[in-house]
Structure 1
Amino acid sequence: MQYEIIHEEKYQQFTARLEQDEEAELAYAKPEDGVLDLTHTFVPEAYRGTGLAQELINTALAYARRHNLKIIATCVAVKKHIAQHPEHQDLLH
């Protein structure tokens, strides 16, 4: 399933707006120039298992790649995703 994911820089997160005013998000911090620390992924229970977390993660990784940023995978879901998709290893800080 495809979700519209918006990068909300002022909140430092990638957000998918869902039904009934629900949101899924991948939050990040900027510990230093050129680095995003992907800290937390949240998907409402009704949307778990739909691939939404992977879409959020892939969106954040694509953003990092486009902007020549390195990432820190503090979030367990992001760590697991990168371990399963070695093509993203080069983004790790």
Structure 2
Amino acid sequence: MGSAIRDNAAGHRFELERNGHVAFANYERRGTSLVIRHVEAALPLRGTGAAGELMQGVAEIARAEGRKITPLCGYAYAWLRRHKEYRDLLN
């Protein structure tokens, strides 16, 4: 991962900043689950892989915390299904 994922706990979102623009994932920690409600990248970041890099960071955070990911967002669900190395985190 080229950029660090920041946990904005007050805003309940993980953030990745690149060139002054932000990709974020709104989340909720619920029991042993990390619920991903929405993933979005600023327009200039779309198509650059920033959202995928963000999701990789989110998956690594979930794994480090011993949590499963409950993706309510279609992008988060599709990303987890495409990356078999993280499928074990899918709740």
Q: Indicate if the aligned counterparts of 1:3 and 1:52 stay in contact, CA closer than 8 A.
A: no
Shift of residue 57 of structure 1? 0.4
Aligned to 2:35: 37
CA distance in 2, matches of 1:38, 1:5: 15
* Distance in 1 of aligned mates of 2:81 and 2:69: 14
User: Aligned residue for 2:85?
Assistant: 87
TM-score, normalised to structure 1's length?
0.85
Gaps of 5+ in 2: none
Match for residue 45 of structure 2? 47
Q: What secondary structure does 2:66 align onto?
A: coil
The residue that corresponds to 1:10 in the other structure is 10
| Distance (whole Å) between structure 2 residues aligned to residue 3 and residue 50 of structure 1 | 13
Identity %: 26
Residues 16-59 of structure 1 deviation map (CA, whole Å, 9 limit, x = unaligned): 23445x422111123x3111111111111111111000011011
**Aligned-pair Cα RMSD in Å:** 1.7
Query: What letter is aligned with 2:5?
Result: I
Matched, 1:65 2:63: yes
Give TM-score scaled by structure 2 length: 0.87
8 Å CA contact 1:36, 1:64 repeated in 2: yes
Query: In the comparison of the two structures, how many residue pairs are matched?
Result: 91
Deviation at 1:6, TM superposition (A): 0.8
In 2, distance between residues paired with 1:82 and 1:24?
A: 17
The amino acid that maps onto 1:6 is: R
